[in-house]
Structure 1
């Protein structure tokens, strides 16, 4: 009886449905998450190729919100694994290629408030699956930009002007940018521009979710 009680307290609960599970999400909810995978994952925008795992809707949107706003960074590990698995099977990059993954940085104020950068959490797991190097210091966010979900394309572009600077550790290999959500591409475009100004090759970007309103 005592062992049963102890096991109940030690068991974790699915963040979606509260079923007992050894992972952040139970197998049932992971399957529901997988239903949001995109068949056409490639986005070509403004001379930059972007690879998106899923559609920013339903359970995937909920997972990202839980991770970012309810202090559940473990979900980022799961999302990074899903992204890494699909990326490896895409055939877009030769196996064992020397690539550096650069997560889109948060401003220090937002990082302190949230406690973690969701893009970096996802990138760590992605790199564990792919074997790529991780560089979280290649870019610095120097302006605390406003949330962009209600902004027009012109407002988004202006909001991100001079928001990034080159960081303290330059990548030694071609860069693959990584972010959680792709909407219209302004964040990734601005990040790539800063790196390319230093003659750093940016081969593209990978994202967990593509917004259903994104422009291609």
Structure 2
């Protein structure tokens, strides 16, 4: 969304302190009645030639179905019973150290969350709100820094820039073509495209 979590401390704060504690009370494994199917597809991985240590970039689409079963109602869920759809995109970077490929930068851009019973057409704005405060400003589960303060989920449909050129033309996709103007309006007047940030 609009936050960047840095280093091991940031990864722990996001995936363990925020997600694991919130959804499954800290369990590192399955919990009866909790669903989080996370499909990654349309993967494109490119080795970055001439890099030492070796590096690569990868782009993946994500589609999630998530939620809780009625049988969990008595278990004291921090967020209560809920179910949702989610879609997003990964633009990751990898590095090979001591013969092992490792994640160098994991970048997940959620695009939309859909209210399951009504569908994504009726998802309220900021159904999943952007981060409001940094960890340094007092949010113990907040990001280390903001990426873009205008980041919003659906119905914002701006495209995350590609780490590669167009496979047919060999050209980079123009920034204007990554924007999402209101129907029938000038793309040059729309919000700028999303950004990836630091990259090797």
Instruction: Give the TM-score normalised by the residue count of structure 2.
Output: 0.29
As a proportion of its length, which structure holds more strand?
A: 2
Structure with greater contact order relative to length (CA < 8 Å, sep ≥ 6): 1
As a proportion of its length, which structure holds more helix?
A: 1
